[in-house]
């Protein structure tokens, strides 16, 4: 997700290691960013999971000239994607699928219904969230 909207979902059936993460970046994130931003610069945010900090992942970002935001492993209230997942989950709250296949289409519909305006508002609210976390001395806030 970005301030310009959401990209495609990528359903993963395996554990995420560096190789899987790099495939996701190559086949989903980079094409999505190209579609959302074209040639404009953007800053990519991720946390410090092992797959994210692997040498091959860092090399890929350097090769593709993608700026990655320095980001702590777990920072409460400051990851916009968590708020987007909350929106998507809220739309699925009353579902009772019988299996994963029955759940996939509603997840995709919920995800694609998230508007660029919602994403932009979330990104624009992050300075306020940052101030709240600083005021709370790093502990979780009402967000």
Please give the residue range of the domain that contains residue 107. Answer: 18-135
Q: Is residue 61 part of a domain?
A: yes
Q: Is residue 2 part of a domain?
A: no
Per-residue pLDDT of the chain (143 residues; tens, 9 = 90+): 998 999 999 999 999 999 999 999 999 999 999 998 888 989 999 888 899 999 999 999 999 999 998 877 666 667 888 889 889 999 898 888 899 889 999 999 999 999 999 999 999 988 888 888 888 887 777 76
Q: Is residue 65 part of a domain?
A: yes
Rounded Cα distance between 107 and 105, Å, is: 5
| CATH code where residue 100 lies | 3.30.420.10
Nearest CA to 12 among 22, 4, 3?
22
Q: Is residue 10 part of a domain?
A: no
Q: Is residue 35 part of a domain?
A: yes
Q: Is residue 78 part of a domain?
A: yes
Domain count, the chain: 1
Q: Is residue 37 part of a domain?
A: yes
Q: Is residue 12 part of a domain?
A: no
């Amino acid at each position: 997700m970005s301030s310009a909207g959401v990209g495609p979902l990528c359903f993963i059936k395996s554990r995420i290691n560096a190789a899987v993460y790099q495939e996701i970046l190559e086949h989903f994130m980079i094409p999505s960013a190209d579609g959302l931003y074209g040639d404009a610069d953007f800053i990519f945010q991720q946390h410090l999971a092992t797959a994210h900090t692997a040498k091959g992942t860092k090399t890929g970002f350097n090769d593709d000239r993608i700026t990655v935001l320095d980001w702590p492993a777990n920072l409460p209230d400051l990851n916009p994607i968590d708020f987007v997942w909350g929106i998507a989950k809220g739309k699925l709250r009353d579902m009772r699928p019988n299996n994963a296949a029955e759940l996939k289409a509603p997840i995709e519909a919920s995800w694609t219904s998230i508007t660029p305006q919602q994403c932009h508002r979330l990104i624009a609210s992050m300075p306020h969230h940052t101030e709240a976390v600083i005021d709370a001395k790093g502990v979780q806030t009402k967000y």
